[in-house]
């Protein structure tokens, strides 16, 4: 590897150690490559078209009022979300991002047998290991990381599982589980077993749908949703859970009352604005079309494997050289992707690349093409791909 890319990779890894299993933010990356450079953030897993729309609508609010005064309790935000999603208010709990809800429940588990499909969003094992018994169900990459439902149900029964956590569609693989199969998993469980479904990316899927409505009829399902991903508002920090009322009441006694900021309150009002929702639906379809085109572009390369994705990103596997490619994308092309080194459940070398706008996707595709067809590839100086 050339010295400058090796130096960049070393700086990145130093940042990464400080961030645990999560990627350094784009602000941290900017300090490495230079603040004067415009970076394409292909770690950004949100809908960029929806961001532009959300920003346009939010530009008309009274920012002075939203920032100066204390916001109302999050029941106001919950009411707006409940109206948008057609859910009973008593079953909606608002979080400062979906992550607050995830962390709350994971930190409440003690001495439980917890079943996790792997690989998965690292918070699910980071916060439960050490004081619980984690049982991993390794997803087969030869089956495109799709869950074998019957085998999974067998493991639930065999290991006397207390809690099942599923991210659907999964992060980082992009694989999804159909609603019918989720119901099949739930119907195999007892009333004392808890099913947590993280649906942060479910709106991006064409093959599955939310289990929210089904969950309302049961006392042992918690559905966690992120509004950041689909609406492109990661900085506002807004997520929610659909859960039994008694579990919501218990959670509210321990927090969550004042966890929504003024901008989150203002955004939640947009969810009840028909003109905003109608424009959002059109922008979301634009995003899905761009994502599908990007999938076709990426799949045209024979140098790496692109796994099928029902999410806002693609998992890509290399025979070797993923670190070098990561470095050259960032240093030479100002493109920041997710290096999936040492990720539990991923055996091999992987990158995760988010789908962004059509223009940004084209820049990513062209950069990959330039790197892969460069003289360095052909003579094997720094990168060897399958």
Per DSSP, the three-state class of 318 is: strand
- Tell me what pLDDT residue 2 has: 56
The domain locations on the chain are 1-50+277-378, 70-272
Which residues make beta-bridge pairs with 165?
A: 196
Residue 14, Cβ density class (10 Å: 0-12 exposed, 13-18 middle, ≥19 buried): exposed
Distance CA(295)–CA(289), nearest Å, equals 10
Assigned fold of 70-272:
3.40.640
- Tell me what pLDDT residue 146 has: 97
Distance CA(227)–CA(82), nearest Å, equals 13
- Tell me what pLDDT residue 381 has: 42
**Ordered mean pLDDT values, 10 residues apiece, the chain (386 residues):** 68 75 80 78 94 95 92 93 98 96 94 96 87 94 97 96 97 97 98 98 94 98 96 95 97 92 95 97 96 97 94 95 90 93 89 98 96 61 42
For the entire predicted model, the pTM comes to 0.92
Distance CA(162)–CA(36), nearest Å, equals 51
Q: What b/e sequence results for 313-335 when a residue is b if at least 16 CB atoms lie within 10 Å of its CB, and e otherwise?
A: bbbbbbeebbbbbbbbbbbbbbb
- Tell me what pLDDT residue 385 has: 42
Same CATH topology for 1-50+277-378 and 70-272: the answer is no
Best CA proximity match to 125, nearest among 23, 268, 21, 281: 21
Q: Using CA of residue 89, residue 94, residue 61, residue 59, what is the dihedral sign?
A: negative
Upper half-sphere CA count for residue 358 (Cβ side, 13 Å):
10
Name, in order, each residue with C-beta under 8 angstroms of 317's C-beta and a sequence gap of 6 or more.
141, 304, 305, 307, 348, 349, 350
81, containing H or E segment: helix 75-85
Name, in order, each residue with C-beta under 8 angstroms of 31's C-beta and a sequence gap of 6 or more.
none
- How many helices (H) and strands (E) the chain has is answered by 17, 13
What would the two tokens of residue 338 be? 């997710």
- Tell me what pLDDT residue 61 has: 93
- CATH fit for domain 1-50+277-378, picks 2.160.10.10, 2.40.340.10, 3.90.1150.10, 3.90.480.20: 3.90.1150.10
């Amino acid at each position: 590897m050339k010295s400058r890319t090796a130096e960049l990779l070393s700086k990145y890894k130093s940042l990464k150690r400080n961030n645990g299993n999560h990627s350094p933010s784009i602000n941290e990356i900017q300090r490495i490559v230079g603040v004067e450079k415009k970076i394409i953030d292909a770690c950004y897993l949100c809908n960029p078209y929806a961001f532009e729309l959300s920003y346009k609508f939010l530009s008309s609010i009274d920012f002075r009022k939203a920032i100066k005064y204390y916001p109302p309790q999050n029941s106001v935000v919950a009411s707006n979300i409940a109206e948008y999603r057609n859910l009973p208010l008593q079953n909606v709990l608002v979080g400062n991002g979906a992550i607050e809800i995830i962390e709350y429940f994971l930190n409440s588990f003690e001495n439980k047998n917890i079943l996790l499909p792997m690989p998965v969003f690292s918070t699910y094992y980071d916060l439960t290991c050490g004081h619980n018994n984690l049982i991993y169900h390794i997803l087969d990459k030869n089956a495109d990381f799709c869950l074998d439902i019957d085998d999974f149900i067998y493991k639930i029964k065999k290991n006397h599982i207390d809690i099942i956590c599923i991210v659907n569609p999964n992060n980082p693989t992009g694989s999804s589980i159909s609603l019918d199969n989720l119901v099949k998993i739930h119907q195999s469980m007892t009333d004392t077993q808890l099913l947590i479904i993280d649906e942060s990316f479910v709106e991006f899927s064409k093959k599955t749908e939310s289990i929210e409505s089904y969950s309302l009829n049961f006392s042992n399902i918690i559905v966690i949703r992120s509004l950041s991903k689909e609406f492109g508002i990661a900085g506002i920090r807004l997520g929610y859970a659909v859960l039994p009322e008694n579990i919501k009441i218990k959670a509210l006694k321990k927090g969550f009352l004042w966890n929504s900021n003024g901008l989150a309150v203002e955004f939640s009002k947009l969810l009840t604005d028909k003109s905003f929702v109608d424009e959002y639906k059109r922008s979301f379809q634009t995003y899905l079309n761009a994502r599908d085109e990007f999938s076709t572009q990426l799949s045209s390369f024979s140098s790496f494997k692109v796994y099928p994705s029902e999410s806002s990103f693609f998992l890509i596997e290399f025979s070797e050289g993923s670190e070098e490619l990561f470095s050259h994308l960032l240093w030479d092309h100002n493109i920041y992707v997710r290096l999936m080194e040492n990720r539990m459940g991923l055996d091999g070398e992987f990158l995760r690349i988010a789908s962004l706008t059509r223009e940004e996707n084209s820049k990513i595709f062209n950069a990959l093409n330039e790197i892969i067809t460069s003289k360095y590839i052909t003579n094997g100086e720094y990168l060897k791909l399958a």
